[in-house]
Amino acid sequence: MRILLTGHLGQLGRTLLPLLARNHAVEGIDLPAHDITDRTAMLALAAQVHPDFILNSAAMTNVDGCARDPELAYRANGMGVQNLALAAASVGAEFMQISTNEVFDGTATEPYHEWASCRPINAYGRSKLAGEWYAQHLLTRAYIVRTAWLYAVEGRNFPHRMLELADEVLAGKRSSLSVVTDEVGNPTYVVDLAEAIVKLIDTHAYGIYHLVNEGVASRFEFAQALLETSGRGNVPLTPITSGAFQRASTPPPYAPLTNTAAAALGIRLRPWRDAVAAFIADAGYRRSDGEGL
Ligand SMILES: NC(=O)c1ccc[n+]([C@@H]2O[C@H](COP(=O)([O-])OP(=O)(O)OC[C@H]3O[C@@H](n4cnc5c(N)ncnc54)[C@H](OP(=O)(O)O)[C@@H]3O)[C@@H](O)[C@H]2O)c1
């Protein structure tokens, strides 16, 4: 297939591109050269590339930035998807939209399945739900893949930040590390997500999918696993609640996803703790206790 991949410089796009390129002709686009909010440009690009498949991994992912400028968030994450869906329709391409666990309100008591009712509580989640709406309503041959708490070797993300802060504690530059216990989700390694997506696009079984590493964790448990796996388990970790610090966006408190639909097709991601171990090895984090990994 000829695949048009948006956001190919992002965490997911960067990982997906070489995997897709094993079996497909892939054209990657990203800012600043290509802006998905420019409908004329997206339609012209589709006419020029004539993709069989458009995979949208571009998004405004700065959740606090979305809270500060919700209109901009809607333009990128809502109308940007509208533009790409119209571009897909114009050339008869299949479509995949990458979405988020933040379309849910986080008041559940068990992980959200694919058909649970969406009720986002922040600007990022509302804008991503707008994107889902366009993909579902403008196209019949569309996948929506929701994921959560993505991290990659390349990119700014929670694991790199936690390990940086832990090293500051070890170097005596800060006394301890505080992490919230009341935000729960699924830490998901982009390598595993990208492999699952590559399998999913071969099925032509359109619909909504939840692709996350298996299991559920609080931010605190995620941080604890990162420290322990990288040999930094001696760094003191203080449990706090989200009320303890101010931020522009409010995350849904309990919004882990469960994979039902893709599992029925035989597509599952490994448990999140195994993925954390793979990430620590792939990123080449050195143990602070001097032992080999
Ligand atoms: N990161 C997470 O924890 C997480 C969790 C759940 C779901 N998701 C979803 O997963 C997908 C991939 O996320 P990611 O972590 O790979 O994001 P990322 O690293 O922020 O990559 C997104 C890419 O899209 C680009 N982009 C932003 N606005 C654009 C526009 N108007 N036109 C073209 N490109 C644009 C970004 O460019 P700039 O960097 O220049 O802005 C960036 O290169 C997104 O749909 C995201 O909503 C992410």
Which pLDDT score is estimated for 117? Answer: 98
Q: Ligand 1: which residue has its CA nearest to atom 8? A: 100
pLDDT at 251 over 90: yes
Q: Ligand 1: which residue has its CA nearest to atom 21? A: 10
Partnered with residue 109 across adjacent β-strands are none
151 is catalytic: no
pLDDT tens-digit series, residues 166-185? 999 999 999 989 999 999 99
- Structural domain contains residue 51: yes
Same domain, 19 and 115: yes
Same domain, 93 and 44: yes
Domain count, the chain: 2
Percent share of the chain, pLDDT over 70: 97
Which pLDDT score is estimated for 292? Answer: 43
Same domain, 90 and 140: yes
Cβ(59) – ligand 1 distance below 6 Å: yes
Same domain, 25 and 79: yes
- Structural domain contains residue 264: no
- Structural domain contains residue 235: yes
Q: Ligand 1: which residue has its CA nearest to atom 19? A: 10
- Structural domain contains residue 232: yes
Which pLDDT score is estimated for 287? Answer: 59
Average pLDDT, rounded, for the chain: 96
Cβ(73) – ligand 1 distance below 6 Å: no
CA of 252 to the centre of ligand 1 (A): 19
pLDDT at 137 over 50: yes
Same domain, 51 and 164: no
- Structural domain contains residue 179: yes
Give the pLDDT band (50/70/90) at residue 5: very high
Same domain, 221 and 101: no
Give the pLDDT band (50/70/90) at residue 245: confident
Cβ(147) – ligand 1 distance below 6 Å: yes
Quote the domain boundaries for residue 135: 2-151+187-210
Q: How far is Cα 4 from Cα 1, in angstroms, rounded to an integer?
A: 10
Cβ(211) – ligand 1 distance below 6 Å: no
Give the pLDDT band (50/70/90) at residue 289: low
Tell me which of 150, 154, 213 to substitute to probe ligand 1's pocket, judged by most ligand atoms within 8 Å of the beta carbon: 150
Same domain, 111 and 191: yes
Mean pLDDT throughout 233-262? 93
| Backbone angles phi and psi of 214, in degrees to 5 | -70, 145
Q: Which of 46-50, 246-250, 273-277 has the lowest mean pLDDT?
A: 246-250
3-state SS, one letter per residue, for the chain: CEEEEECCCCHHHHHHHHHHCCCCEEEEECCCCCCCCCHHHHHHHHHHHCCCEEEECCCCCCHHHHHHCHHHHHHHHHHHHHHHHHHHHHHCCEEEEEEEHHHCCCECCCCECCCCCCCCCCHHHHHHHHHHHHHHHHCCCEEEEEECCEECCCCCCHHHHHHHHHHHHHCCCCCCEEEECCCEECCEEHHHHHHHHHHHCCCCCCEEEECCCECCEEHHHHHHHHHHHCCCCCCCEEEECHHHCCCCCCCCCECCECCCHHHHCCCCCCEHHHHHHHHHHHHCCCCCCCCCC
Alpha carbon 105 to chain centroid distance?
Answer: 17
